[in-house]
Amino acid sequence: MKSISTQVVIVGAGPSGLLLGALLHKAGIDHIIVERQSGDYVLGRIRAGVLEQGTADLLDAAGVGERMHKEGLKHDAFALFFKGEFHRINFANRQGGKHMVVYGQTEVTHDLMDHRTAHGLQTIYEAGDSVAVHDFVSNHPRVTFTKDGEAHEIKARFIAGCDGFHGVCRASVPKGAIQNFEKVYPFGWLGVLADTPPVYHEVTYSNTERGFALSSLRSMTRSRYYIQCGMNEKVENWSDDRFWAEFKTRIDPDAAKRLVTGPSLEKSIAPLRSFVAEPMRFGSMFLAGDAAHIVPPTGAKGLNLAAGDVNVLSQAIVEYFQEQSNAGIEHYSARCLRRVWNAERFSWWFTSLMHKFPDTEGQNFGFQQKMQEAELDYLVHSEAALQSITENYVGLQH
Ligand code: RFL
Ligand code: PHB
């Protein structure tokens, strides 16, 4: 077996793992990333599009914010469409000028990958299903994998589990040492990416009697749209024409008239779930990002939560190596979980407010729709409620 040593092994080269790598590099801490898939595969996943200002600031701090500033779109409002009316909600003027940046996860990943190449940082791609974590209750954890028929071992002081919801790190923790909290929603999101000018220039969430829709964008020439669909829906059953026809029924009629349709560049269905694993540290192994928690995408919090974890984790690791202090490491889990549960609550609430739920408790659709509309009406007319939704939307700072 080929054996090498480093200070931190990062499992997973998604946004969490790559950003952690950039922050550790900045602090002069050696690390290696091991990724199951190829770089192109990771780049092909179309996911998040909206970055909180805190996330954008962290990308700057990591030295990878340049293109985001040039190409990202700075937003200071989002919109809600319900009961046939469109309501613009300005968060910047309510939250001390905080804005959001529309810049795709693909672009963030791209910038972080380029940064690794430019600095000669090691990423092992295509390690496949063989990746395994060992001895993480000790101070001498190891990661092993087989690549091109050869067995490899990386010894380190810490393992960072940045390997997403289906990763190996959380799955390797003994059952009795971890508690999972989960809610699966009875619907999914069908998403389409198209090179068409976005119908709205700001992110717009629709609540309609036919279900939820979201109009988002990646640039002024690229749209990202979603509609709520059944949880067992198959993407093959959704031709582009069928998608556009359904989407038009869920946005305001004037917007539907001016909507430019076109061939989808990508089309996929994502299930919706809320999930948290506690704690987020097991001896010398930490979980960060989707490996530790999932939110339904309604509040655009997933990637932002991942960035928050990685910020706290990089500081804790730097403190350990540079100040010989365990304090950050000891507090990592509790510090992250407070912020995580706040975002879980917000994402669950916003999901519940905007989607059509199958009848579960004898409460019919009509009643549920009326309750949602009454709450939305209150929300857009009460300054107290607007303060609350915008405070959560831009990201609670803890
Ligand atoms: P990722 O992105 O899943 O990356 C994990 C990486 O680990 C690799 N891996 C392994 N590597 C080695 N060994 C193993 N055994 C491994 N198992 C897995 C995987 O191949 C992968 O490369 O997790 P990470 O880095 O924590 O990043 C999390 C974000 O991707 C996620 O939270 C967001 O995409 C969520 N999300 C959104 N977040 C936002 O903040 N704003 C948004 O607007 C937003 N929109 C979205 C979203 C997620 C969506 N879907 C599809 C779930 C919209 C959608 C539709
Ligand atoms: C996206 O652009 O993909 C997006 C925007 C807002 C959300 C979720 C996803 O709440």
Q: Taking the domains of the chain in order of start, what are their residue ranges?
A: 2-74+100-182+273-350, 185-272+360-394
Q: In this structure, how many other beta carbons lie within 10 angstroms of the beta carbon of residue 70?
A: 8
* First vs last C-alpha separation in the chain: 44
Residue 58, token pair as written in the block: 């962290």
In this prediction, what percent of the chain has a pLDDT beyond 90? 94
How many angstroms separate the alpha carbon of residue 300 from the centre of ligand 2? 5
Residue 25, token pair as written in the block: 């590099």
DSSP, res 155: E
In the block, tokens 């407010």 appear at 353
Q: List active site positions.
A: 75, 205, 297, 301, 393
Instruction: Judge whether residue 359 has pLDDT over 80.
Output: no
- Report how far residue 88's alpha carbon sits from residue 80's, in angstroms, rounded to the nearest whole number: 7
The overall pTM is greater than 0.75: yes
Average pLDDT over residues 358-368: 73
Q: Under a CB-based contact definition with an 8 Å cutoff, are residues 24 and 121 in contact?
A: no
Phi, psi at residue 280, to the nearest 5°?
A: -110, 10
Instruction: Judge whether residue 395 has pLDDT over 90.
Output: yes
Instruction: Judge whether residue 328 has pLDDT over 90.
Output: yes
Complete edge-to-edge strand list for the sheet that includes strand 204-208: 85-90, 77-82, 204-208, 211-219, 222-230, 179-194, 264-278, 293-294
Residue with CA at minimum distance from ligand 2 atom 1:
49
Residue 99, token pair as written in the block: 């804005």
Average pLDDT over residues 69-80: 97
Average pLDDT over residues 27-49: 93
Which fold, 2-74+100-182+273-350? FAD/NAD(P)-binding domain (3.50.50)
Atom index in ligand 2 nearest the CA of residue 297 equals 8
CATH class entry, domain 185-272+360-394: alpha beta
- Report how far residue 275's alpha carbon sits from residue 295's, in angstroms, rounded to the nearest whole number: 7
Three-state SS sequence of 261-300? CCCEEEEEEEEEEEEEEECCEECCEEECHHHCEECCHHHC
CA 250, distance to chain mean position in Å, is 24
Containing H/E element for 43?
helix 39-43
Q: In this structure, how many other beta carbons lie within 10 angstroms of the beta carbon of residue 376?
A: 21
> Whose atoms come closest to the Cα of 268: which ligand?
1
For 304, counting Cβ atoms within 10 Å of its Cβ (0-12 exposed, 13-18 middle, 19+ buried), the class is buried
Q: Which of 33, 109, 163, 231 to mutate to test the pocket of ligand 1 (most atoms within 8 A of CB)?
A: 163
How many angstroms separate the alpha carbon of residue 298 from the centre of ligand 1? 15
Phi, psi at residue 228, to the nearest 5°?
A: -65, 135
Confidence of residue 204 (pLDDT cuts 50, 70, 90): very high
Give the pLDDT of residue 363: 64
> When comparing pLDDT for 168 and 365, which is higher?
168
Q: Under a CB-based contact definition with an 8 Å cutoff, are residues 355 and 211 in contact?
A: yes
What amino acid occupies position 105?
Q
CA distances from 317 to 1, 12, 140, 242, 286 (A): 28, 18, 15, 50, 11
> Taking the alpha carbons of 350, 356, 358, 362 in that order, is the dihedral positive or negative?
positive
How many angstroms separate the alpha carbon of residue 258 from the centre of ligand 1? 33
pLDDT in tens, 98-149: 999 999 999 999 999 999 999 999 999 999 999 999 999 999 999 999 999 9
DSSP, res 96: T
* Residues 6+ away with beta carbon under 8 Å from 239: none
Mean pLDDT of the chain: 96
Secondary structure of residue 165 in the 3-state scheme: coil
Give DSSP secondary structure letters for 211-232: EEEEEEEEETTEEEEEEEEETT
Instruction: Judge whether residue 398 has pLDDT over 80.
Output: no
How many angstroms separate the alpha carbon of residue 289 from the centre of ligand 2? 17
Q: Which of 290, 304, 313, 396 to mutate to test the pocket of ligand 1 (most atoms within 8 A of CB)?
A: 290
From the CB of 224, is ligand 2 less than 6 Å away? Answer: yes
For 273, counting Cβ atoms within 10 Å of its Cβ (0-12 exposed, 13-18 middle, 19+ buried), the class is middle
DSSP, res 177: G
